[in-house]
Amino acid sequence: MTANLNIAAGLRNDIERIERGGAAVAAETKDTFISAGAAEIDKALPWGGLPACGLHEIFGDAAATGFAVSLLAQLETLKPGAPILWCQTGRELYGHGLAAFGLDPARLILVHGRNDTDLLWAMEEGLAARGIGGVVGMLHKVPPIAGRRLQLAAEERGGFGLLLRPLDPMAGVRAAAELAATSMALTRWRVSGAPSEPVRIGGREAGMGPLRWQLELQRCRLSTHNSNTTYTGHPKTWQVEWRDETGDLSVVAALRNGSAQPAEPWRVAS
C-alpha cells in the first residue's frame, strides 16, 4: 500500500513538473509576434503582428504554401535552430523551393500520414512538444473539436501552428465546399498567385519580375480563453511581391487595398 502511494506521489510530481515546464514555454512566447511579411499588413492586424503562440489558417493554391513557408522561416529569430514539423499525406515538397523563401530544408521533420486523422494527431503532438519551432499541417477536413484541441495545445505550450488548406481549381465546387474554415484559428488567410510585372531593360522585356501574391486577411480572433474572442471588420487585401534580395514581402504600391487611405481597424465584437 505504501509503495503504491509513493508511486502515485511520484507520478503527480512528474506531471506537475512537466506542466510547469510547458507553462514556462508558453509564457516565453505568449506576447511574441512575427511579421506577416510587410509593415502595412502588420498594422492591419490587431496585435501589430502575427501571434507566435497560436493556430493560423491559410487557404489557397501554391502561393499559399509559399506564404506559409515565409512565415515559418521567421520563427528562426524566436527559436534558433528549432525543427519544423510538417505533416501531409503527399510527398510533393521541394527543398529548393523551401530554401527560396528562407526555410532551410534541413530543419524539417516530415510526417506522412494516411489521412487527415493521422495528421491532426501528429500536429497536436508536435504543438505540445517543447523542442519544435513550428507545426504545419496540409489538411482537407478539420472537425471543430480537432481545431479547438490544436488551438489549445498551441496556446498552452507556446506553439506556432499553421493549417494549410490547399484549393484545387480542378476539384469542383463540392470539394471546395468541404474545406470548411476552422473557427478556432486566430487568423484566416486566402492566398493566390497574381501576375508578375515584366522586367524591362532599354524599353524591352527582359524576363518576369518578382513573384506576386494576392493576400486576403479574412478573419481575426482572440484566444480561446477570452469571452470577447472575435474581431469584426471587412476582409483586407493586399497584392505583395517576394523580394529575393531581402527575403521578405513588399506591398505593391499602386494596389495597397485599392486605396491610399489606411485600412479600417479591426474591432472587438461585443
In a domain, 64, yes or no: yes
Q: Using one digit for the tens of pLDDT, what is the confidence trace for 218-250?
A: 988 865 544 344 554 567 899 999 888 777 888
Secondary structure of residue 110 in the 3-state scheme: strand
Q: In the predicted model, is pLDDT for residue 55 greater than 80?
A: yes
Q: Report pLDDT for 197.
A: 79
Q: Average pLDDT in the 262-267 region? A: 52
Q: Which of 4-18, 42-56, 105-119, 180-194 has the lowest mean pLDDT?
A: 4-18
> How much is the average pLDDT of 5-26?
45
pLDDT given for residue 22 in this prediction? 40
Is pLDDT of 47 > 80? yes
Domain presence at residue 202? no
> Given this model, what pLDDT does residue 226 score?
47
> Could you tell me where the DSSP H helices lie in 61-217?
62-74, 95-100, 116-128, 144-157, 173-177
The two beta strands, 187-194 and 84-88, are unpaired
Measured torsion, CA atoms of residues 200, 214, 126, 100, in degrees rounded to the nearest 10: 0
pLDDT band at 91 (very low <50, low <70, confident <90, very high): confident
The mean-pLDDT minimum among 10-19, 73-82, 148-157 falls in 10-19
Q: Is there a domain that residue 27 lies in?
A: no
Residue 2 lies in a domain: no
Structural domain includes residue 145: yes
What is the mean pLDDT of the segment spanning 151-161? 91
How far apart are alpha carbons 152 and 147 in whole angstroms?
Answer: 9
Q: What pTM was estimated for this model as a whole?
A: 0.77
Q: Please classify residue 232 by burial: count the beta carbons closer than 10 Å to its beta carbon, then call 0-12 exposed, 13-18 middle and 19+ buried.
A: exposed
Mean pLDDT of 90-106: 89
Q: For position 78, which CATH number holds?
A: 3.40.50.300
* Calpha distance 145→122 (Å, rounded): 15
Residue 129 cell numbers, joined: 512538444
Which residue, among 72, 132, 76, 122, has the nearest Cα to 98 in the 3D structure?
A: 72
DSSP structural state of residue 133: S
Q: What is the domain count for the chain?
A: 1
The better pLDDT of the pair 174, 30 is held by 30
> Crossing angle for the helix pair 144-157 and 2-30, nearest 10 degrees?
90
95 pLDDT above the threshold of 70: yes
Any domain includes 61 = yes
User: Residue 250 sits in which domain range?
Assistant: 33-196+207-268
Could you tell me if residue 131 is inside a domain? Answer: yes
Which residues have a Cβ under 8 Å from the Cβ of 9 and sit 6 or more positions away?
A: none
- Interhelix angle 116-128/144-157, rounded to 10 degrees, is 20
The rounded percent of the chain whose pLDDT value lies above 90 is 42
Lowest-pLDDT range of 27-31, 111-115, 237-241? 27-31
- Across the chain, mean pLDDT equals 78
Q: Look at residue 71 and tell me whether its pLDDT is greater than 80.
A: yes
Asked if residue 15 is part of any domain, the answer here is: no
